[in-house]
Structure 1
Amino acid sequence: MLMVQLACPRCGFVIEQYGAAQLEADTQKQKRYQYLRKKQTLCPSCLSQTAKLEERRVEVEAGPQAELMAEAEAPPEAVPAGEAVAPTPLCDELERGPWPSHVTELKQTRYHMQMYEEGLRQKRTQWGFGGYTSIPGVASGILMRASARPDIAKGANLVRAFCPSGTFYSTQTFRALCDVADRHGYGILHLHATTCDIEVLGVPKEELRATVDELVAAGLDVGSTGDAYRNCQECIGPLRCEMVLVDSVAMRQAYFTRFLDDVQYPRFPHKIKFKLSGCPNDCTRSQQKGDIAIVGVFRDPPTIDAARLEGWVAGGGDIAHIVRMCPTRAMEWDGRRLAIDADGCVRCMYCINKCPAVRPGGDRGVAVLAGGKMRGKYGPLQPFVIAPFVPAVPPDFTEVFDLCAKITDVYDEHARRKERLGDFIYRTGIDQFCRLVGVPSAPQQMVSPRINPFYHWTPEELQASRKEAD
């Protein structure tokens, strides 16, 4: 089989290769091939910088793998009506071997296996972004995926529903979910995606209304699409975790009680993702993926159970190593007694996770952060701490959600269309954002010191200075 290789001219390392037939038939690969030929490239083998890669055409000896690749590279043939389904050699290859195969399970559903075969053949998904489908009664819309191969399968809709708080299901609810997926979709459920949604895949447009009605009848709300509050993901919190500082499950329930209209009716410049973590371990990755992140914190220093610590050390626990690994050197161990400097401790949870004798302190609440995301105009962004400590008072958590509502009101009023919250804060500056929200800014929020000597006096500051001068 003829292969086209792009290699380093200095050491001969093959950086990328294509089957000649595949390169001739696939326009996307032709574009990438031309791009790599003109691009200045760093060879990962000899680390030399080259302005132009060397092109080679090499005959590869035919073998089982080469035959499989050649078979996959051949353009798919149209299957006449009434005949067998088109062959899927790459999918069949994934079923070989002693291990269970997801392809075997996938073939038992109504999923279009030829679309999966095309994705494996071209090494990219054949489903693209398709926007939203509007149906009466679902203001946020239904997510749609466009098909790159409409000759194989048309676009697919997926219906998102909110999982119960704590992600605990009754068998009745779960059976109802499975029945909906079997009756209207591919027979596949996507459980607890990055936003902790339940997704029913492959629902035809004419069956969307019935799908939504059956999900609502099962006790599940539909939404989490469009420029609205998305589903709120929480950690399992007090249900199973000993590290939890606030009741994250109850807080999620209070979130939906207060913001359900904003979840189901889009009104913001872009989507807003909420994440809740019951402690700084942040198991929900709220600081990475949440436009607004709520993280349980404590203000008192960690507590130490001296008797338990003595037994743990006697059993082989290495407290000296934990002391050495403290990021702010706030711990001291003299061989008999452990001490923690309350002012130096940053409550990072390291010693608490490692030693069962060290537990979180009292005076517990939450920190509210804003602006975290993985994608967007400015790329991935870490969030800013808007309020380092807010009391979390159940059952309504009023003070916490009042601040969240103020953040989103400022975002709704001042942000540009399709501008994420993190991009908006980055554009306006954290000091200006805090001023709009009505919370004091702090030096710890600044990424770096200012690099110019100019100071912009506000009218209030000028009036105050004039009064002092008079």
Structure 2
Amino acid sequence: MKDDQTGTSKHETPMLDELEGGKWPSFVTGLKRLRDEGTDSNRAIMNDLLGQLEHSYEEKLGFWKGGAISVLGYGGGVIPRFSEVASKFPASKEFHTLRVMPPAGYHYTTDLLRSMADIWEEHGSGLIAFHGQSGDIMFQGCASDKVQPAFDALNELGFDLGGAGPALRTAMSCVGHARCEQSCYDEVRAHR
């Protein structure tokens, strides 16, 4: 099956397709949407990511290995992922994750969310998770040479890396009186 815009072959994913059945949302549907509707570079990354994931399901093995990657002045905040089957899936051979500290109380404006999405479409795969198990914003799928520029752009918005590796873990703040009975302050007003 060919991608109409890029002319590349889409990987067949029969095992992943099974995960789209049923009444619950599927992460596979989201990955396919990025492959089918993302920017040209994102399409290639997500296509090969889906191919590698299907290959992992077939072989019953994970094909990611760690390593070392960071931004200047930081020892953590980036989760390195290098593909062990990069020759088969070259567009996703490096799929690093930037853990970014969320704003206090998880308060976002739509303009801020759009800016973050634009940055990640430019520098990464377009795949963002709000919020990972650490509470961080997870910017997933970045090549090694794009990690520093992506961080610099996010830092310009006022964000810093969260915890990953042997560094201090992400500090959390109360979500405010709307959802926390221990709140002693009007956090919502403070963040406007």
Q: Give the TM-score range, shorter chain.
A: 0.7 to 0.9
The equivalent residue for 1:135 is 71
SS of residue matched to 1:182: helix
The equivalent residue for 1:213 is 152
The equivalent residue for 1:175 is 114
SS of residue matched to 2:68: strand
In structure 2, relative to structure 1, the CA distance for the partners of 1:192 and 1:141 (3 Å cut) is: closer
Equivalent-residue separation in structure 2 for 1:149 and 1:90 (angstroms): 19
Question: C-alpha displacement at 1:113, in angstroms?
Answer: 0.8
Equivalent-residue separation in structure 2 for 1:227 and 1:98 (angstroms): 39
> Which of 206, 225, 228 matches 2:164?
225
The equivalent residue for 1:119 is 56
The equivalent residue for 1:243 is 181
SS of residue matched to 1:208: helix
The equivalent residue for 1:166 is 105
Structure 1 contact 195–231 (Cα < 8 Å) conserved? yes
Structure 1 contact 215–222 (Cα < 8 Å) conserved? no
Aligned: 1:148 with 2:84: yes
Structure 2 contact 71–151 (Cα < 8 Å) conserved? no
Structure 2 contact 136–162 (Cα < 8 Å) conserved? no
Higher RCO (CA < 8 A, seq sep 6+):
2
> Which of 137, 148, 151 matches 1:198?
137
Question: C-alpha displacement at 1:93, in angstroms?
Answer: 2.7
Equivalent-residue separation in structure 2 for 1:199 and 1:243 (angstroms): 28
Unaligned runs of 5+ in 1: 1-81, 250-470
Structure richer in strand, relative to its length: 1
What percentage of aligned pairs have identical amino acids? Answer: 30
Equivalent-residue separation in structure 1 for 2:123 and 2:95 (angstroms): 12
Question: C-alpha displacement at 1:100, in angstroms?
Answer: 5.0
The equivalent residue for 1:105 is 30
Equivalent-residue separation in structure 1 for 2:78 and 2:27 (angstroms): 27
Question: C-alpha displacement at 1:121, in angstroms?
Answer: 2.2
Question: C-alpha displacement at 1:117, in angstroms?
Answer: 0.8
Question: C-alpha displacement at 1:167, in angstroms?
Answer: 0.5
Q: Aligned partner of 1:184: which letter? A: H
Equivalent-residue separation in structure 1 for 2:77 and 2:174 (angstroms): 27
Structure 1 contact 195–232 (Cα < 8 Å) conserved? no
Aligned pairs (5 A) from 1:52-131: 84-96=9-21, 101-109=26-34, 110=42, 111=46, 112-128=49-65, 130-131=66-67
Q: Aligned partner of 1:107: which letter? A: K
Question: C-alpha displacement at 1:187, in angstroms?
Answer: 0.8
In structure 2, relative to structure 1, the CA distance for the partners of 1:203 and 1:83 (3 Å cut) is: closer
Equivalent-residue separation in structure 2 for 1:140 and 1:99 (angstroms): 34
Q: Aligned partner of 2:14: which letter? A: P
SS of residue matched to 1:211: helix
- State the number of aligned residues: 168
Could you report, residue by residue, the CA deviation over 1:376-429 in whole angstroms, capped at 9, with x for unpaired residues?
xxxxxxxxxxxxxxxxxxxxxxxxxxxxxxxxxxxxxxxxxxxxxxxxxxxxxx
Question: C-alpha displacement at 1:97, in angstroms?
Answer: 5.7
Question: C-alpha displacement at 1:96, in angstroms?
Answer: 4.4
Question: C-alpha displacement at 1:144, in angstroms?
Answer: 0.3
Equivalent-residue separation in structure 2 for 1:85 and 1:245 (angstroms): 50
Q: Aligned partner of 1:244: which letter? A: Q
In structure 2, relative to structure 1, the CA distance for the partners of 1:124 and 1:244 (3 Å cut) is: farther
RMSD: 2.9
Equivalent-residue separation in structure 2 for 1:148 and 1:160 (angstroms): 23
Normalised to the residue count of structure 2, the TM-score between the two structures is 0.73
Structure 1 contact 131–145 (Cα < 8 Å) conserved? yes
Question: C-alpha displacement at 1:200, in angstroms?
Answer: 1.1
SS of residue matched to 1:159: strand
Q: Aligned partner of 1:158: which letter? A: T
The equivalent residue for 2:125 is 186
In structure 2, relative to structure 1, the CA distance for the partners of 1:243 and 1:115 (3 Å cut) is: same
SS of residue matched to 1:138: coil
